[in-house]
């Protein structure tokens, strides 16, 4: 096993093991609060992690960098982000917890350089990523909004260098985060104060509404009568038309005559 690759995978796993009450971890705890078995709880966590805003974030970063293409196109991309151009989003920046540079991202940035150098891999996306970070962190638009690189920004480039397909990025994340999920579930169950989760919902709609009785549709309430006095309905899906009725009557007469 290449020691550079082994160090990179170990670091990736450690950095992604657990991280407060994020979306997937909270999902695992909510599922576990109903006393669902741990396998079902982990499956719930995987479902939450799969979203591009969570476990698929580093995959989204790779897609963004590929769309930018080259270092020369970074400045225009940043301008489009600031102008809120439709379909243009800055991925891998910002975090709900960290309002400065994510410490995990700082280590990941250093690690990705070590991996590419140690394995002799040249990835043009690293140049694009570094140029985008340089321009963004020098722009007050992003700094004032506390938008700094997060752990997902460089991790995708590192996984690519290790030969891991982009479609497997979230799987790698789930392999690591499962340890955290199980620890969270075990902690919750072992406290012996397990109560089913019930997030509070505050109604913010209309305070008072005036009741208005619905107008009865006479055509629907009273079926139209045919000359024979029986209720008549227009043929629809599943109804017998006149032709179908005649065919059935003909078939029935045939049975009687043969008997």
Residues with active-site annotation = 95, 152
Rounded Cα–Cα distance for residues 102 and 100 (Å) = 6
Q: Is the distance from CB of 61 to CB of 153 less than 8 angstroms?
A: yes
| Token duo for residue 1 | 């096993």
Question: What is the maximal distance between C-alpha atoms in the chain?
Answer: 96
Which residues, including other chains, have CB under 8 Å from residue 62's CB and lie 6 or more apart?
125, 156, 157, 160, 166, 169
């Amino acid at each position: 096993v290449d020691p550079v690759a082994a160090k990179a995978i170990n670091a990736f796993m450690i950095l992604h093991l657990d991280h407060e009450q994020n979306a997937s971890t909270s999902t695992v705890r909510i599922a576990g609060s109903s006393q669902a078995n741990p396998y079902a709880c982990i499956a719930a966590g995987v479902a939450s992690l799969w979203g591009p805003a969570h476990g698929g974030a580093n995959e989204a970063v790779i897609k963004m960098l590929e769309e930018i293409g080259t270092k020369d196109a970074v400045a225009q991309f940043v301008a489009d982000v600031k102008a809120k151009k439709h379909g243009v989003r800055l991925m891998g920046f910002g975090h709900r917890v960290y309002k400065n540079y994510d410490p995990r991202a700082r280590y990941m940035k250093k690690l990705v350089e070590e991996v590419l150098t140690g394995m002799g891999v040249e990835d043009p996306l690293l140049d694009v990523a570094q140029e985008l970070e340089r321009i963004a962190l020098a722009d007050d638009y992003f700094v004032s909004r506390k938008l700094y690189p997060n752990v997902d920004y460089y991790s995708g480039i590192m996984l690519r260098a290790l030969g891991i397909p982009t479609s497997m990025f979230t799987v790698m994340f789930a392999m690591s985060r499962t340890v955290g999920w199980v620890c969270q579930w075990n902690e919750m169950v072992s406290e012996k104060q397990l109560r089913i989760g019930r997030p509070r919902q505050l109604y913010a709609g209309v305070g008072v509404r005036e009741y208005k009785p619905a107008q009865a549709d006479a055509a629907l309430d009273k079926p139209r009568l045919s000359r024979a006095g029986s209720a008549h309905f227009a043929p629809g899906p599943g109804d017998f038309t006149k032709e179908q009725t005649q065919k059935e009557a003909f078939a029935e007469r045939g049975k009687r005559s043969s008997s």
